[in-house]
Structure formats: structure tokens, C-alpha cells
């Protein structure tokens, strides 16, 4: 996804390599950021928790992959096993910006 195709409000938070560099203060932009990060996952693929963490570490720079992983689930972009060990991207997120 090209930076120019991102919502205007989200662009200041994404660097030239496509990484989220700061967690936005406004919830509207936070939701856009989570939606953006969800696009980094493959549909239909099952991820172990450590794989989700590793992927999130590649796509953000502020070191809070746990927050991002939790919001991907809480805001309906991913499903997870009840024990929290496996995740899968939802085909249609419950929450879209």
C-alpha cells in the first residue's frame, strides 16, 4: 500500500518504509492505523501468537506489539483461539475506518 493511498490523517504516522512510527492520540486515527496494520496479514493464513508479534514488530517502531495485537482482535480485524495462541485475519473486519 502506497503512503499516498492512506487516509490523510494517518500519513504523518507512517514512515517511508511503511512502518507505524507513533501511536496516534485520536481514536479515529488509531482505528485507521489498526486497519492499515491488518493489511499486512494474509487472508486465510493461521498465525501463532509469536508470528503476529514478529510481523507487528516489522511494521511499527515504538515497541508495543501487545497493544497492536490486542486491538487487531478487539476491533474485529482478527479472530483468535480461546487460549490466545492462534490468530487469523477476518475476511471482513467488524470495524473499518
Q: What is the pLDDT of residues 21-56, one digit of tens each?
A: 999 999 999 999 999 999 999 999 999 999 999 999
Is pLDDT at 94 greater than 90 in this prediction? no
Is pLDDT at 3 greater than 90 in this prediction? no
Q: pLDDT band for 63, please (50, 70, 90 cuts).
A: very high
CA dist list (Å): 48 to 4, 54, 72, 97: 32, 10, 14, 26
Is pLDDT at 96 greater than 60 in this prediction? no
Amino acid at each position: 500500500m502506497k503512503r499516498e493511498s492512506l487516509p490523510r490523517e494517518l500519513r504523518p504516522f507512517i514512515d517511508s518504509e511503511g512502518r507505524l512510527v507513533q501511536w496516534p492520540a485520536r481514536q479515529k486515527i488509531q482505528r485507521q492505523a489498526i486497519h492499515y496494520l491488518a493489511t499486512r496479514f494474509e487472508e486465510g493464513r493461521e498465525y501463532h501468537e509469536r508470528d503476529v508479534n514478529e510481523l507487528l514488530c516489522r511494521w511499527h517502531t515504538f515497541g508495543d506489539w501487545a497493544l497492536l495485537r490486542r486491538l487487531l482482535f478487539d476491533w474485529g480485524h482478527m479472530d483468535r483461539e480461546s487460549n490466545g495462541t492462534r490468530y487469523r485475519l477476518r475476511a471482513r473486519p467488524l470495524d473499518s475506518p
